[in-house]
């Protein structure tokens, strides 16, 4: 096969707009260039606004990670004020955030990722008919069950947050609604119903059984539920050998609160997690249609290059930690938290690893959500009074479903003087940096199989979607 270039777009079943350019020869991807083709400019919109307006505006960066954005903004504002939310308010905020992340994980598996295996290109495989029944886009029975379960799970956000997406319930001092004992019972009922769905359909077994898997051999032997079906697909298509990443992972730590993080923060490169120094984060703009040089986010700028210069190819900046790109997401989170199966998967760094990491988190985070709800005491206050400073800086670091999300804020004279956001997919789908080093997805696509006649190679689709990209967050 001679050298060709493929342009894949519109690349759907990802959140937002994505275009991937591939250099192909010898039936393999030789180089990939990932373009986020939409620029809205949220960081500029916020300039000159009252700091609290960030709580209304930043959730609207993203309709799928909306609560993550709320939480990051609330933490950044509280940090600027040197204040802490009321402990119970922090727990409710964490519960709201967990519900969104769980909803996103199951949406990804059922609606975005699995439908690709129902494609006619896989007809004849031993598992194909079953995948067609469960996961055909728009029609599959598993997909319908997932959408119904998701809508019911989000009743928790309806009750505590008014609606999903785009709640204003999460504030620097806590949350705007103090749940009653009756509310707590309803929320518990919603969580129990969701557990029933997860155990009955996706896992086919108690969540605890999956959460206790410790080795790849144990995982390979999992046969029940939709995850058993995915396991069969994955072993047949060798998804454990596809989309191999650099094996460098980053987590800001999930659900910080009065009890510490639910899932630890840190980095991972090799076998053991390390502490994270977020002051070593910079954003490179060498291949982005952005002006200005490499900056730490607290001093960062967002100056779009209206000329869209030739040597750049995306609106996405390239975040680096100590000069290196990092992969972030559920796999990173679970591995950095020290879960043995996640550590083994992180070493594998494949399509299968990312998807299984997410499913492992679905089980573990559900158990954590139940425990968190038990610790919410309705008789206590849910909001602390916090006064914002006229001048100051604040940082809000959280874990969205897709990974590390940071807000860096500077307040001058009571107004937002600078606001910089680095979203999970900014890390994962970053373009090349000044050294020409590709971002994590770009690197993971190298070597992907391109079959004769494919204009949107299936292997590429699996690899891209294994990251669960959120493109609207990426550039924001």
Binding site per annotation, positions for Ni(2+)? 65, 470
Of the candidate residues 33, 75, 194, 382, the single one contacting another protein (CB under 8 A): 382
* Closest approach of another protein to the CB of residue 160, in Å: 7
What three-state secondary structure class fits 365? helix
The three-point CA angle 247-252-256 to 5° equals 145
Of the candidate residues 10, 124, 275, 436, the single one contacting another protein (CB under 8 A): 10
β 248-251/327-328 pair status: parallel
Residue list 246-305, contact with another protein (CB under 8 A): 304
Q: Which residues are annotated as a binding site?
A: 43, 62, 65, 421, 470, 473, 476
Q: Is 308 in the site for another protein (CB under 8 A)?
A: yes
Of the candidate residues 171, 314, 334, 420, the single one contacting another protein (CB under 8 A): 171
* Closest approach of another protein to the CB of residue 306, in Å: 4
What three-state secondary structure class fits 338? coil
Q: Which residue number, 14 or 205, has a Cβ lying nearer to another protein?
A: 14
- Report DSSP state, residue 359: H
Residue list 18-37, contact with another protein (CB under 8 A): 18-19, 35, 37
Rounded to whole angstroms, the Cα distance separating 205 from 213 reads 12
Q: Is 178 in the site for another protein (CB under 8 A)?
A: yes
* Closest approach of another protein to the CB of residue 269, in Å: 32
Of the candidate residues 23, 31, 130, 155, the single one contacting another protein (CB under 8 A): 155
From the centroid of its chain, how far is CA 237? 25
Q: Which residues are annotated as a binding site for Fe cation?
A: 65, 473
Structure tokens at 63: 């309709």
**String of contacts with another protein for each residue 90-129, x by CB under 8 A:** -----------------x---xx--xx-xx----------
CA-based R_g, the chain, Å: 21
* Closest approach of another protein to the CB of residue 276, in Å: 28
Q: Which residue number, 46 or 344, has a Cβ lying nearer to another protein?
A: 46
Rounded to whole angstroms, the Cα distance separating 349 from 354 reads 7
Of 164-172, 209-217, 242-250, 338-346, the window that binds another protein (rule: CB under 8 A) is 164-172
Per DSSP, what are the bridge partners of residue 35? 19
**Which residue's structure tokens are 């108690």?**
206
**Up-side HSE of residue 352: CA atoms within 13 Å toward CB?**
24
Structure tokens at 236: 């047949």
Structure tokens at 78: 């509280």
Of the candidate residues 85, 87, 142, 174, the single one contacting another protein (CB under 8 A): 174
Of the candidate residues 168, 291, 296, 324, the single one contacting another protein (CB under 8 A): 168
Whether residue 49 contacts residue 460, with contact meaning beta carbons closer than 8 Å, is answered with no
Q: Is 70 in the site for another protein (CB under 8 A)?
A: no
Closest CA to 334 of 101, 15, 66, 92: 101
**String of contacts with another protein for each residue 45-64, x by CB under 8 A:** xxxxxx-xx-xxx--xxxxx
Indicate the angle between helix axes 128-135 and 225-237, nearest 10 degrees: 130
Q: Which residues are annotated as a binding site for Mg(2+)?
A: 43, 62, 421, 476
């Amino acid at each position: 096969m001679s050298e060709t270039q493929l342009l894949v777009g519109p690349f759907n079943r990802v959140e937002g707009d994505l275009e991937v350019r591939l250099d192909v020869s010898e039936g393999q991807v030789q180089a990939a260039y990932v373009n986020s083709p939409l620029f809205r400019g949220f960081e500029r919109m916020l300039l000159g606004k009252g700091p609290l307006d960030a709580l209304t505006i930043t959730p609207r960066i993203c309709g799928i990670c909306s609560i993550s954005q709320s939480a990051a903004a609330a933490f950044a504002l509280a940090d600027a004020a040197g204040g802490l939310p009321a402990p119970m308010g922090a727990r409710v905020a964490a519960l709201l955030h967990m519900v969104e992340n769980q909803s996103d994980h199951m949406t990804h598996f059922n609606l975005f990722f699995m439908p690709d295996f129902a494609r006619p290109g896989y007809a004849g495989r031993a598992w194909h008919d079953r995948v067609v029944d469960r996961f055909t886009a728009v029609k599959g029975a598993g997909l319908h069950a997932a959408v119904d379960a998701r809508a019911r799970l989000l009743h928790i956000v309806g009750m505590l947050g008014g609606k999903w997406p785009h709640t204003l319930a999460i504030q620097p001092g806590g949350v705007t609604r103090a749940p009653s004992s009756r509310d707590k019972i309803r929320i518990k009922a919603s969580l129990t119903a969701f557990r029933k769905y997860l155990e009955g359909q996706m896992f086919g077994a108690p969540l605890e059984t999956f959460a206790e898997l410790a080795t790849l051999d144990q995982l390979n032997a999992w046969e029940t539920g939709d995850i058993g079906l995915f396991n069969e697909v994955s072993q047949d298509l060798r998804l454990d050998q596809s989309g191999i990443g650099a094996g460098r992972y980053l987590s800001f730590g999930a659900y910080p609160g009065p009890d510490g993080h639910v899932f630890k923060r840190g980095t991972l490169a090799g076998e053991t997690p390390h502490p994270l120094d977020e002051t070593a984060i910079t954003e490179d703009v060498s291949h982005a249609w952005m002006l200005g040089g490499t900056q730490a986010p607290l001093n960062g700028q967002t100056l779009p290059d209206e000329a869209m210069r030739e040597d750049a190819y995306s609106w996405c900046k390239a975040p680096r930690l100590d000069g290196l790109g990092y992969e972030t997401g559920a796999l990173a989170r679970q591995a950095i938290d020290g879960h043995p199966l996640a550590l083994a998967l992180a070493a594998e760094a494949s399509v299968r690893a990312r998807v299984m990491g997410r499913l492992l988190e679905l089980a573990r985070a559900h158990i954590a959500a139940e425990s968190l709800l038990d610790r919410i005491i309705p008789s206590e206050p849910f909001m602390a009074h916090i006064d914002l400073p006229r001048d100051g800086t604040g940082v809000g670091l959280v874990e969205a479903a897709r990974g590390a999300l940071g807000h860096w804020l500077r307040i001058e004279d009571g107004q937002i003087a600078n606001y910089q956001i680095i979203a999970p997919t900014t890390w994962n789908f970053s373009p090349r940096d000044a050294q020409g080093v590709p971002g994590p997805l770009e690197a993971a696509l190298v070597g992907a199989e391109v079959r004769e006649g494919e204009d949107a190679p299936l292997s590429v689709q699996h690899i891209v979607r294994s990251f669960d990209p959120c493109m609207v967050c990426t550039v924001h």
